[in-house]
C-alpha cells in the first residue's frame, strides 16, 4: 500500500517535472525565434540539464549559428547528444557539419550516413494524395501507382530529374516499398546524365556496399565527378 502510494506520488512529481521542462523549452524556443539567443541559450541549458533532447538540438543550433562566435565543436557535442536519442534534425545537422568539415574532418560518406539516418529517423509519412498538373495548370488527382507511372514514363523518356526523383522514392521507401536495387539503377542512370547528387549517392552505394558489391575504386571514381574530396577507404 505504502509502496503504491509512493509510486503514484513519484509519477506525479515526474509528470510535473516533464510539464515544467516542456514549458521551459517552449519559452526558450520563442526566444530563439525572436532572435534572442542569450535568453534562449539560458533556457535551453537548463532544460538540457534535465534531459531535454530538443534543448540539446537548439543549443547546437545556437553554437553553430552565433554570428559573432560560431563554435562548431560545441555544436557537434550538442547535436551528437541529441542524435544519440534519435533526434532526426540533429542527425541532419551532424551531416552538414561533416559535409562542410566544420568542427570535424570533412567526410562526405559520414555526412551521407547522417543524412540517411536522419531521413529514416524522421518517420516520413506518405502524402495523402497526389496530383499531376496539366498544361493549363489544373490539378488532376492520381493514385500512387499512376503517380509512379507518370514519373517512370518521364524517366524512361530521358528526363534526368525524373530519374533522380524515382530513385529517391525507391530509396526512401515512403510512397512505395523500398527497392534499393531499383533506386541504385535510377541513381546510376541520372549520374550518367551528369546529375551531381545522384553521382554522390552512386559513390556512397559503392563505398558502403549497399545493394552492390563494395568497390572503393568505383566509389572514388564517381565521387571525383562531384567535386568532393573525400576518399572511400
Partner 1 sequence: MTNRQQDLLRELQHNEHILHVVSAEDLQKEHLELKGNTKLIAQQVTPVLDALKAAKLIHEVGGFKPGQVVLKKYGNKQYVIFKGKAGERHVLKGTKYLADNPTVVRMAIGPKGIVKSAKGGFVITAVLSVSIEIFDYVIRDTALLSEMLGVITTDLVKIGLSTLAGVAAGLAVGSAAVIGSVAAAPFVVAIAVGVLAGFVLDKIDQRLGATQALIKAYARMGIMLDEIKYETSRNLKYLEDNPQFIPCLFGPCHGIRGY
Of residues 107-126, those binding partner 1 (CB under 8 A): 108, 119, 122-126
Grid cell in block for residue 156? 524512361
Question: Measured between alpha carbons, how far is 106 from 213 in angstroms, rounded to an integer?
Answer: 25
* 80 in contact with partner 1 (CB under 8 A): no
**Those residues with Cβ within 8 angstroms of residue 103's Cβ, 6 or more apart along the chain or in another chain:** 71, 72, 73, 75, 76, 97
Quick one: which of 132, 145, 149, 214 contacts partner 1 (CB under 8 A)?
132
Minimum Å distance from CB 31 to partner 1? Answer: 11
The span of 14-22, 100-108, 179-187, 210-218 binding partner 1 (CB under 8 A) equals: 100-108
Phi, psi of 86 (to 5 degrees): 70, 30
Return the number of the residue (142 or 215) whose C-beta is nearest partner 1: 142
* 69 in contact with partner 1 (CB under 8 A): no
Return the number of the residue (41 or 64) whose C-beta is nearest partner 1: 64
Quick one: which of 165, 180, 210, 212 contacts partner 1 (CB under 8 A)?
165
Task: Give how far Cα 229 sits from Cα of 103, 105, 187, 198, 226, Å.
Answer: 17, 11, 20, 16, 9
Contact 37, 67 (CB under 8 A): no
* 133 in contact with partner 1 (CB under 8 A): yes
Return the number of the residue (102 or 231) whose C-beta is nearest partner 1: 102
Burial 114-149 (b: 16+ CB within 10 A, else e): bbbbbbebeeeeeeeebeeeeeeeeeeeeeeeebbe
Q: Rule CB under 8 A: which residues touch partner 1?
A: 29-30, 32-35, 61, 64-65, 88-89, 92, 96, 99-102, 106, 108, 119, 122-134, 137-139, 141, 147, 150-151, 154, 159, 161-162, 164-165, 168-169, 172, 174-175, 196-197, 227-228
Amino acid at each position: 500500500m505504502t509502496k503504491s502510494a509512493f509510486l503514484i506520488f513519484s509519477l506525479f512529481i515526474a509528470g510535473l517535472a516533464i510539464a515544467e521542462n516542456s514549458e521551459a523549452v517552449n519559452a526558450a524556443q520563442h526566444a530563439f525565434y525572436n532572435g534572442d539567443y542569450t535568453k534562449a541559450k539560458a533556457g535551453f541549458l537548463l532544460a538540457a540539464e534535465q534531459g531535454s533532447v530538443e534543448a540539446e538540438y537548439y543549443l547546437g543550433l545556437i553554437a553553430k549559428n552565433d554570428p559573432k562566435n560560431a563554435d562548431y565543436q560545441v555544436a557537434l557535442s550538442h547535436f551528437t547528444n541529441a542524435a544519440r536519442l534519435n533526434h532526426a534534425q540533429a542527425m541532419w545537422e551532424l551531416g552538414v557539419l561533416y559535409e562542410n568539415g566544420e568542427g570535424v574532418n570533412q567526410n562526405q560518406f559520414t555526412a551521407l550516413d547522417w543524412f540517411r539516418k536522419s531521413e529514416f529517423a524522421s518517420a516520413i509519412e506518405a502524402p495523402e494524395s497526389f496530383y499531376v498538373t496539366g498544361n493549363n495548370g489544373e490539378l488532376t488527382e492520381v493514385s500512387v501507382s499512376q503517380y509512379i507511372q507518370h514519373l517512370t514514363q518521364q524517366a524512361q523518356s530521358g528526363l534526368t530529374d525524373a530519374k533522380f526523383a524515382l530513385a529517391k522514392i525507391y530509396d526512401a521507401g515512403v510512397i512505395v516499398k523500398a527497392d534499393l536495387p531499383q533506386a541504385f539503377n535510377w541513381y546510376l542512370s541520372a549520374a550518367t546524365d551528369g546529375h551531381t547528387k545522384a553521382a554522390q549517392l552512386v559513390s556512397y552505394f559503392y563505398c558502403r556496399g549497399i545493394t552492390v558489391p563494395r568497390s572503393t575504386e568505383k566509389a572514388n571514381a564517381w565521387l571525383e565527378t562531384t567535386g568532393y574530396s573525400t576518399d572511400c577507404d
